[in-house]
Chains A and B, each alone.
Chain A
Amino acid sequence: DTEVTQTPKHLVMGMTNKKSLKCEQHMGHRAMYWYKQKAKKPPELMFVYSYEKLSINESVPSRFSPECPNSSLLNLHLHALQPEDSALYLCASSQESGLLNQPQHFGDGTRLSIL
């Protein structure tokens, strides 16, 4: 069982819709991450939050907007997405950003389809 919970599991939306992906962890981790994964490819880093502050933005288009309301929650707000944004979106957490020998723990992802 994963300790990082993502909702919803599946999401279908039109290009003009606004939706949000949610991620929650209760391991006391202070670093949280968003990744995008295309089929049969490795995950690609999108954003990193450390102590609730955005520390890395991998030049992600502004139609993706992350938010970290508190140390346990991470949201990804979506607006005006393109068909190529269809993918599995993974959330992960780790004890602290900068502790290089600590693994990241992943949720099961939200499978997003853009019509």
Chain B
Amino acid sequence: AQSVAQPEDQVNVAEGNPLTVKCTYSVSGNPYLFWYVQYPNRGLQFLLKYITGDNLVKGSYGFEAEFNKSQTSFHLKKPSALVSDSALYFCAVRDANTDKLIFGTGTRLQVFP
């Protein structure tokens, strides 16, 4: 079965510092990986997706994700964090057998001024 894991419930970072939100995956076959962000009282917003062959994927709002096949990871990164980046981040994988989107447990990012 396909799955993703987000090992950190919360990540704290100072504004202007680089941030990383971790995600590891377990899939059979090709990985179809996504990152979403959820601001308070809002739905999920699509940030980026893994594209086969690209180890560094660029997405919305200055976010990027680094795909590492040997470590089965798809970590979300940003070179310089903003207070407005504070939100709940979900990593997700598309299950090729069922077409379901399977979410990680989420990581709360807190950026301090």
Interface of A is mostly: loop
Among the 9-residue stretches B11-19, B67-75, B79-87, B102-110, the one with 4 or more Cβ atoms under 8 Å from chain A is B102-110
A62-115 CB contacts (< 8 Å) to partner B: 90, 92, 97-98, 100-101, 103-109, 111
How far apart are B101's CB and chain A's nearest CB, in angstroms? 6
The reply to whether A48 and B99 form a contact with Cβ atoms under 8 Å apart is yes
Contacts of A8 in B (CB 8 A): none
Give Cα distance in the complex from A56 to B42, angstroms.
Answer: 25
The reply to whether A105 and B49 form a contact with Cβ atoms under 8 Å apart is no
Contacts of B41 in A (CB 8 A): 108, 111
The reply to whether B99 and A103 form a contact with Cβ atoms under 8 Å apart is no
Contact A108-B46, Cβ < 8 Å, known A41-B106, A100-B96: no
The reply on B43 being an interface residue by CB < 8 A is: yes
Chain A: residues with CB nearer than 8 A to chain B?
A: 2, 4, 6, 40-43, 45, 48, 56, 90, 92, 97-98, 100-101, 103-109, 111
Chain B: residues with CB nearer than 8 A to chain A?
A: 32, 34, 36, 41-46, 49, 51, 88, 90, 94, 96, 98-101, 103-106, 108
